[in-house]
Amino acid sequence: MSDSNARFPTIGILGGGQLGRMTALAAIRMGIHIKTLSPSPSGSVAPLGQAVVGDWTDEAVMEAFIDGCDVITVESEWAPAEVAEKVSNGRIPVWPASSTLLTIRHKGRQKDAIQEAGIPVGAYLACSSFQEARAALTVFGGKAVAKKFEGSYDGYGNATVTSVSDLEKAWDELASNEGLLMEAFVPFVRELAVMVARRPQGESVVYPVVETEQRDHRCHAVMAPARIRPETAAAAREAALQAASAVNLVGVLGVEFFELEDGSILLNELAPRPHNTGHYTIEACFSSQFENHARSILDLPLGSPEMRTPAAVMINILGHRAGSVRTDGLVEALSHTQAGLHVYGKEEARPKRKMGHVTITGSNLDTLRAEAEAAAHAVQL
Amino acid sequence: MSDSNARFPTIGILGGGQLGRMTALAAIRMGIHIKTLSPSPSGSVAPLGQAVVGDWTDEAVMEAFIDGCDVITVESEWAPAEVAEKVSNGRIPVWPASSTLLTIRHKGRQKDAIQEAGIPVGAYLACSSFQEARAALTVFGGKAVAKKFEGSYDGYGNATVTSVSDLEKAWDELASNEGLLMEAFVPFVRELAVMVARRPQGESVVYPVVETEQRDHRCHAVMAPARIRPETAAAAREAALQAASAVNLVGVLGVEFFELEDGSILLNELAPRPHNTGHYTIEACFSSQFENHARSILDLPLGSPEMRTPAAVMINILGHRAGSVRTDGLVEALSHTQAGLHVYGKEEARPKRKMGHVTITGSNLDTLRAEAEAAAHAVQL
C-alpha cells in the first residue's frame, strides 16, 4: 500500500469463520474496513463490517464483492481465491495467491514443496494404489499415518495405521482417484508450532515457537513460549521462514513441527492463514497474528511478533452438544478473572466444533495452564 | 445475569463514538451481541453489530431499539438514558441509571455528591450571580477555574480566571440561568486518574492509578502505573471506589484527581463511562475497561483490572485538519512496531478532535513515552 492521501483501505475476506472474525476485529481496531463473503450466513462474521452471503463460486457474486476492496484474502485454504483472481484480473491483489493455496491444499504437493526447499520432513509417499500404500506401511516399519490428499482438517481425513486391516479401512475411507498420502509415524516428544507473517516483497516476521497439544487430532492447548532448547527454537523459526518463502506465502502461515528425542525437528504441516496455534498472540504479543495478517496483505509495515508477557497459555473451547448455542457456564468461566474469553458467535454448536478459546498471560506455564483449562472447561457451548 | 441455558446477551449502546466502538469490540470478542443507537450515522460504530440511526429522544424510536436488548448503556453522560428508562419501564435495566448521569452531568451537583461522600475535593462554589462569582474569585485567592454547570468536555466550557475582566468574559461565555461553577485553582504537581468497574450489587474492581497529561484541557498522554507514593495510590483507589458508590454507578467510572506537593489528592471530576485515561487497559490489563463495562452492566463477574505488563503509555491522536479522514502517515506510524494503533473510524476529522490513540506496553515509561509519541505524531488524520 502506498502511503498516500487516500482513504483507509478495505480488506475483503472470503470465509465466515472465527479466523475471519478475529482478523476483522484486529483490522477494524486500526481503522481498516472489512467485507466478508461466505456461502451461508455466519454468526461469526455477521456483526463485523459488511457481511455478504452468496455463492462465492459465482463470478458475478465475486465481481460485486470485490468492488471497493483493496485486497482479497481467505480465512481457509478451501476458499475460492482462484475465482477472486479471475474476476479481479490483476486489478486487486489476492493474498495468499491461489497458487500457494493449491500447493498447500494438497498434502502430497505440500510435502514435496517443503522437501524441495531443503526443510526436514518425515518420510512420506504419495500412493496411487493400495499395493503402494501397503508397501509404504512396510517400509515405514509397520506404523504410519494415512491422509486424504485434500480436505482433511482437525482430525478429519487422517488415520493412524498399524496393520493391513487398518490400512484397508483407511484406504476405503480416505483414498481418492489419485490414492492417498502415507507418512511414516514420527516418534515425536513434543509438537511445536510457529507463525510467520510475510509481505509481498518477502519481508517477514516470525513469532515465538510454541508447544501444542492435540486431542483427537484437534488442537487442545498451546503453551508459549515452548520449553525447548534455543537451538531447537532457532531451527523451527528458520524452517518456518524458509517454508513461507518456498510456497510464496503472503499473509500469515501456520507451521507445525514434530520435535524428536534429540531436539531436532521435522516439519509436519502448513496452514496458509491465521492458525489456532497463534490465537495466544492476541493477548501475548505486541501485534497479533490477525493484525499482522491484515498488515502483510495490505503491504504495510509488520508489527512486532515479540511477546509482551513472559508466558501465555491458550485452551480451545469445543462444542459439547448439537444445537443452538447457549450460555451455560459463562458466569463460572468469567470468574477466572485473568482469563481472556473468546466466543466465536457461531449460531450452532456441534460436538468437538471449535466454538471459542481462552488465553491467559503470566509467567508460569503450569499455573497458567491449570487456570486456562478450568476457565475453558467451565464454558459448555 | 443469571447463568441459565439462555442465548448470549445483547447490549444496547446509546451513542456512536469511540467509547461505544471499543466497548463493542470487547463485547463481541466474548460472544456478546451489540446494538447501537445514535442520532446521526457514525463511522465509529457502523461496522460493529447492528447500528441504528434515529432520533433517540423519540420514544417510538427508543422502544424499537431496546427490543431484544438485555441491558441498555450509554457511552456519553449526555445520551438520553431517561428516555430508555421511560420506555423500558423496568423491563430492561439501564446502566448507568439516569439519576447517576443527572448528578454527574451537572458540575455543581457532582461536586456536592463527592464532598458529601467525604472525599477530598478542592474548594468550589456554585455561583448564581456575577457578584457571587466575583466574591468566590477573591475568596479563592484571585485564581480560579470557571466552569459551565452542564455541557463542558475536553476543554470546552472551562476557563482559567485570574482577574475580574477574565471573569466577565467567562461569565458571558459560560454562565447559564443558574450561573456557573467557580473552583479554586489547585496547585497540583501531577494529574492522576483511576477507573472503577461496579456491578449492580456494588461488587467493584479498581484499576491502577495512572498519570495523565493534558494539553489545552484535553487528555494527551497517560502513563501507567503512576510514579507516586504507595499511600497516594491507595488513597486515590479508595476515593475512586467511594465515588462510584456515592453516585450509585453501575458500569465503569473514570475518576480524575489532582496530586498536591505533599502527596495528598483532591478529586477533580467524574466520568460515568469508559474514559480516555483507561484506553491503555486494552493492551496492558487482563480485562480492559471496555470488557469490564460490558461485564458490569450485564451483572457478570468482573475481570481482573491488574496490569499484565510492567508499564504502558497511551498517546491520543487528534485531528489535524477539517474534512474527510485520510491515511497520511499510516505507514510511518506502523513502522513503530511495538505500538498498538487504534483509529476510531470517524468519517470527518476536525482539528483537535479525538481520532485515535496509540498504546505501547513495556517496562520503562520514558522509553515507551518517546516511542508512543512518535507513532501517534506520525499519523496525520
Model pLDDT for residues B186-208, shown as the tens digit of each residue: 999 999 999 999 999 999 999 99
Tell me: ipTM over 0.90. Answer: yes
What is the predicted pLDDT for the residue at A3?
A: 44
Residue B327: pLDDT band with limits 50, 70, 90: confident
Report the SS3 class of residue B360. strand
Residue B326: pLDDT band with limits 50, 70, 90: confident
The contacts of residue B190 (CB under 8 Å, 6+ apart) are B211, B226, B228, B258, B259
Interface test with B, best of A22, A285, A327 (most B CBs within 10 A): A327
pLDDT digit string, tens, across residues B366-381: 999 999 999 999 998 8
- Provide the percentage of residues in chain A whose pLDDT is more than 70: 98
Please give, rounded to a whole number of angstroms, the shortest distance from the CA of A84 to a CA of chain B: 23
Predicted TM-score of the model (pTM): 0.96
What is the predicted pLDDT for the residue at A69?
A: 97
Q: Which residues of B touch A372 (CB under 8 A)?
A: none
Domains present along chain A, CATH in parentheses: 10-94 (3.40.50.20), 123-184 (3.30.1490.20), 190-378 (3.30.470.20)
Of B77 and A339, the structure prediction assigns the larger pLDDT to A339
What is the predicted pLDDT for the residue at B3?
A: 44
Question: What is the distance between the alpha carbons of residues B194 and B198, in angstroms, rounded to a whole number?
Answer: 13
Report the SS3 class of residue B294. helix
CA atoms within 13 A on the CB side of B22: 28
Nearest CA in chain B to A2: B331
Strand partners of residue B353: none
| Cα A212 from chain centroid (whole Å) | 13
What is the predicted pLDDT for the residue at B2?
A: 46
Question: What is the distance between the alpha carbons of residues A294 and B340, in angstroms, rounded to a whole number?
Answer: 14
Type of residue at B4:
S
Q: Are B210 and B186 in contact (CB under 8 A)?
A: no
What is the predicted pLDDT for the residue at B175?
A: 95
pLDDT digit string, tens, across residues A239-272: 999 999 999 999 999 999 999 999 999 999 999 9
Grid coordinates in use for A48? Answer: 463485523
Pairing relationship of beta strands B265-271 and B218-224 according to DSSP bridges: unpaired
Q: Do B301 and A335 touch (CB under 8 A)?
A: yes
pLDDT digit string, tens, across residues A196-234: 999 999 999 999 999 999 998 889 999 999 999 999 999
> Considering Cα of B20, then B25, then B30, then B32, what sign does the dihedral take?
positive
Query: Angle formed by the axes of helices B230-246 and B107-116, to 10°?
Result: 110
What is the predicted pLDDT for the residue at A216?
A: 83
Question: What is the distance between the alpha carbons of residues B74 and B84, in angstroms, rounded to a whole number?
Answer: 10
Which residue ranges of chain A lie beneath pLDDT 70?
1-5, 154-155
What is the predicted pLDDT for the residue at A190?
A: 97
Cα-based angle B142, B147, B152 (whole degrees, multiple of 5): 155
Grid coordinates in use for A31? Answer: 481503522
Cα-based angle B378, A33, B20 (whole degrees, multiple of 5): 85
Of B318 and B380, the structure prediction assigns the larger pLDDT to B318
Grid coordinates in use for B371? Answer: 516511542
What is the predicted pLDDT for the residue at A362?
A: 97
What is the predicted pLDDT for the residue at B5?
A: 58
The contacts of residue B265 (CB under 8 Å, 6+ apart) are B120, B192, B232, B235, B236, B239, B257, B258, B259
Q: Is B33 on the interface with A (CB under 8 A)?
A: yes
Interface test with A, best of B3, B50, B328 (most A CBs within 10 A): B3
Q: Are A334 and A319 in contact (CB under 8 A)?
A: no
Please give, rounded to a whole number of angstroms, the shortest distance from the CA of A75 to a CA of chain B: 18
Q: Are A144 and A150 in contact (CB under 8 A)?
A: no
Grid coordinates in use for B276? Answer: 480516555
Q: Is A102 on the interface with B (CB under 8 A)?
A: no
Give B347-358 as a DSSP string. Answer: SEE-TT-EEEEE
What is the predicted pLDDT for the residue at B1?
A: 46
Q: Which residues of B touch A304 (CB under 8 A)?
A: 337-338
Question: What is the distance between the alpha carbons of residues B17 and B10, in angstroms, rounded to a whole number?
Answer: 19
- Give me the residue from B25, B327, B340 closest to A8, CB to CB: B327
Q: Are A33 and A57 in contact (CB under 8 A)?
A: no
**DSSP alpha helices (H): ranges in chain A?**
18-29, 59-66, 81-88, 98-105, 107-116, 130-139, 164-174, 230-246, 281-284, 289-297, 330-334, 365-378
Element housing A251 (H / E): strand A251-259
Contact residues, B window 290-319, toward A, CB-based 8 Å cutoff:
295, 300-304, 306, 308-309
Grid coordinates in use for A76? Answer: 481457509
User: Where in chain B does DSSP place strands (E)?
Assistant: 10-14, 33-38, 50-53, 71-74, 124-127, 144-147, 158-161, 180-184, 190-198, 204-206, 210-215, 218-224, 251-259, 265-271, 311-318, 323-324, 340-343, 348-349, 354-362
Q: Is A158 on the interface with B (CB under 8 A)?
A: no
Q: Is A323 on the interface with B (CB under 8 A)?
A: no
Span B74-82, mean pLDDT? 94
Please give, rounded to a whole number of angstroms, the shortest distance from the CA of B232 to a CA of chain A: 26
Q: Do A31 and B308 touch (CB under 8 A)?
A: no
Span B217-245, mean pLDDT? 97
Question: What is the distance between the alpha carbons of residues B334 and B376, in angstroms, rounded to a whole number?
Answer: 10
Contact residues, A window 268-287, toward B, CB-based 8 Å cutoff:
283, 286-287
Q: B299: closest CA among B375, B199, B232?
A: B199
Please give, rounded to a whole number of angstroms, the shortest distance from the CA of B5 to a CA of chain A: 5
Please give, rounded to a whole number of angstroms, the shortest distance from the CA of A91 to a CA of chain B: 21
What is the predicted pLDDT for the residue at B165?
A: 97
Terminal C-alpha separation, chain A:
41
Q: Do A361 and B303 touch (CB under 8 A)?
A: no
Q: Are A223 and A204 in contact (CB under 8 A)?
A: no
Nearest CA in chain A to B339: A286
Q: Is B362 on the interface with A (CB under 8 A)?
A: yes
Q: Is B324 on the interface with A (CB under 8 A)?
A: yes
Decide: residue B118, CB within 10 A, 0-12 exposed, 13-18 middle, 19+ buried: exposed
Residue B6: pLDDT band with limits 50, 70, 90: confident
In eight-state DSSP terms, residue B246 is: H
Question: What is the distance between the alpha carbons of residues A120 and A235, in angstroms, rounded to a whole number?
Answer: 10
Q: In Å, how far are A86, B58, B81, B222, B246 from B99, measured between CA atoms?
A: 59, 20, 9, 30, 12
What is the predicted pLDDT for the residue at A152?
A: 75
Question: What is the distance between the alpha carbons of residues B152 and A332, in angstroms, rounded to a whole number?
Answer: 41
- Give me the residue from A30, A47, A308 closest to B309, CB to CB: A308
Q: Are B77 and B271 in contact (CB under 8 A)?
A: yes
Residue B92: pLDDT band with limits 50, 70, 90: very high
pLDDT digit string, tens, across residues B265-287: 999 999 999 999 999 999 999 99
Strand partners of residue A342: A357
